[in-house]
Amino acid sequence: MKGLLMRSAATGERLEMIYLSNKGEITQRIIHVEKVGEESFKAYCYKRRQSRTFKLSNVLSIAPMRHHRRGA
């Protein structure tokens, strides 16, 4: 997972993440990683429209953003 986060930080690639908040809420977010630390990472969250710090241990799923085809 750290490799994917570091690649996103280097390339600006957006990622889709399912995250467990400290309040126990599960959210789906689209992010762009800014900095990766030992136990957390900082990323711009498009849902909240601001930079946020996320705990690595609370990430339930993370993957490169899927590109949706537009109807023909």
Listing DSSP states for 16-29 in one string gives EEEEE-TTS-EEEE
**DSSP, res 38:** S
For the entire predicted model, the pTM comes to 0.85
- Residue 69 pLDDT class (50, 70, 90 cuts): low
Assign domain 2-64 to a CATH class.
Answer: mainly beta
Q: What percent of the chain has pLDDT over 90?
A: 83
C-alpha–C-alpha distance, residues 67 and 34, integer Å: 21
- Rg of the chain on CA atoms, in Å: 12
pLDDT in tens, 19-50: 999 899 999 999 999 999 999 999 999 989 99
Give CA angle at 40 (8, 18), nearest 5°: 65
Residue 70 pLDDT greater than 60, yes or no: no
Contact present, 29 and 46 (Cβ < 8 Å): yes
Domain ranges of the chain: 2-64
